Amino acid sequence: MSEEFTVTPWEVKGFIDYDKLIKDFGTQPLTDEILERVRRLAGELHIHLRRRIFFSHRDFDWILDKYEAGEKFILYTGRGPSGHIHLGHLLPWFFTRWLQEKFNAKLIFQMTNDEKFLYRHDLSMDDALKFSYENSLDLIALGFEPERTVILIDTLASKTLYNIAIRIAKHVTTSTVKAIFGFEDSTNIGMMFFPAIQAAPCFIESVLQGRNIPCLIPAAIDQDPYWRMTRDVAPKVGFYKPAQVHCKFLPGLGVGGKMSSSMPETCIFTIDDPDEVYRKVMNAFTGGKPTREEQRRLGGNPEVCTVFHYEYYLFEDDDKRVKELELMCRSGQLLCGECKLELAAKIRLFLTEHQKRREDARNAIDKYLYID
Ligand code: TYM
């Protein structure tokens, strides 16, 4: 297995060693002790915690201390609207929704249409704005309630964001953003400033309410560089450091790497025709043997199997069933075709329902948007 991998906010590739990332990024593993606290406070553990799909954090224990002391926290997460949403994007949002419900927390959701316009040569402002609306429908379809959810589309909430961002930007030098984000002299100055805009929502609630409010950010670990910068600046501008809880990447349907829109054949979009999804799943990379006979005799390898990963990450809630699938695969009782059919049926069902809720969200979106 290759040891080479890259994880940045703009590029994720290779076979990721998550333990190494914890060391390299200087985060903390999610311990049994923290999970027990969450279980006690929430009454149960979400599958993403039980299965360590959320695996790393910064100050999650501090957020729980505050919560137990009666201080509520806000949740903050977001999306760079450069195209349609795929299942990988939904992964941290499912968990965020659960946190919102269990901890009665407000969610600030940022659509960085400015970032995507600045970063991508092929994306117009109009398209980035169009995808901000389209992607919001997916968020709303997951059940986030308008009373406790605010969507900020950067260029439509620019007054509020900019006023916070300049306070942050004043404490971040060019050499710092070069070191953290790998920016070069050829990077446009919009991108150089942008990290202050992504940092701003961490503090928006504190600014609007005029008192410090703890903030917890659930997201995949690729976004972590932003939080390193933000945590460094927060005390200098009088705010709490934002806390994070980091998830792993949902892989694509091919070999290695995360699910990524740049490889549409290995990616399941929420707007995909459910029949098209069936075809994608049937072509997925599995841990199976080349022939039926060998599979029966030697068994498959669920560790490398994308079909198994999808069950594990998203589609099979029941831990016993997951274990059963794993054992049946390893022993050769279960063939890849059968497994693929089971998964395709689950994804089809999910998409059919999600697409209905997504359409209904068109009438509700105005209730979520923060426009200044
Ligand atoms: P973006 O659009 O690249 O990703 C949106 C969210 O999806 C996560 N993600 C994944 N999670 C699991 N498996 C995958 N295959 C996968 N691919 C993407 C990302 O970690 C992210 O949580 N700059 C950000 C937008 C943003 C943001 C934020 C994200 C603004 N503020 C606060 C998280 C938290 C971006 O372009 O995300």
Spell out the domain ranges in the chain: 5-249, 264-359
C-alpha closest to that of 215 among 316, 73, 348, 363: 73
CA dihedral defined by 217, 20, 311, 50, rounded to 10 degrees?
A: -60
Considering only CA atoms, give the Rg of the chain. 21
Which pTM does this prediction carry? 0.97
Residue 301, pLDDT score: 94
Whole-angstrom Cα distance, residue 341 to residue 359? Answer: 27
Query: What string of H, E and C letters represents the secondary structure of 311-355?
Result: HHHHHCCCHHHHHHHHHHHHCCCCCHHHHHHHHHHHHHHHHHHHH
Whole-angstrom Cα distance, residue 125 to residue 253? Answer: 31
Residue 116, pLDDT score: 97
Tens digits of pLDDT across the chain (372 residues): 446 889 999 888 888 999 999 999 999 999 999 999 999 999 999 999 999 999 999 999 999 999 999 999 999 999 999 999 999 999 999 999 999 999 999 999 999 999 999 999 999 999 999 999 999 999 999 999 999 999 999 999 999 999 999 999 999 999 999 999 999 999 999 999 999 999 999 999 999 999 999 999 999 999 999 999 999 999 999 999 999 999 999 999 988 777 788 888 889 999 999 889 999 999 999 999 999 899 999 999 999 999 999 999 999 999 999 999 999 999 999 999 999 999 999 999 999 999 999 999 999 999 999 999
Residue 3, pLDDT score: 63
CA distances to 54, 213, 278, 287, 334 from 281, in Å: 25, 44, 5, 14, 16
Residue 1, pLDDT score: 42
Residue 268, pLDDT score: 96
Mutate to test the pocket of ligand 1, among 8, 12, 57, 79 (most ligand atoms within 8 A of CB): 79
Residues with CB under 6 A from ligand 1: 9, 76-80, 88-89, 91-92, 110, 112, 115, 198, 217, 219-220, 222-223, 247, 249-250, 258-259
Whole-angstrom Cα distance, residue 165 to residue 208? Answer: 14
Residue 218 CA to ligand 1 center (angstroms) comes to 10
Residue 2, pLDDT score: 47
What atom of ligand 1 comes closest to residue 218's alpha carbon? 34
Q: Which residue has its alpha carbon closest to ligand 1 atom 30? A: 78
- Identify whether the C-beta of residue 227 lies closer than 8 Å to the C-beta of residue 244: yes
Assigned token pair, 177: 């953003």
Per the CATH hierarchy, to which homologous superfamily does domain 5-249 belong?
A: HUPs (3.40.50.620)
Per the CATH hierarchy, to which homologous superfamily does domain 264-359 belong?
A: Tyrosyl-Transfer RNA Synthetase (1.10.240.10)
- Identify whether the C-beta of residue 280 lies closer than 8 Å to the C-beta of residue 295: no
What atom of ligand 1 comes closest to residue 250's alpha carbon? 13
Q: Cα 306 to chain center, whole Å?
A: 18
Residue 10 CA to ligand 1 center (angstroms) comes to 10
Mutate to test the pocket of ligand 1, among 57, 222, 223 (most ligand atoms within 8 A of CB): 223
Whole-angstrom Cα distance, residue 160 to residue 369? Answer: 13
Residue 258 CA to ligand 1 center (angstroms) comes to 12
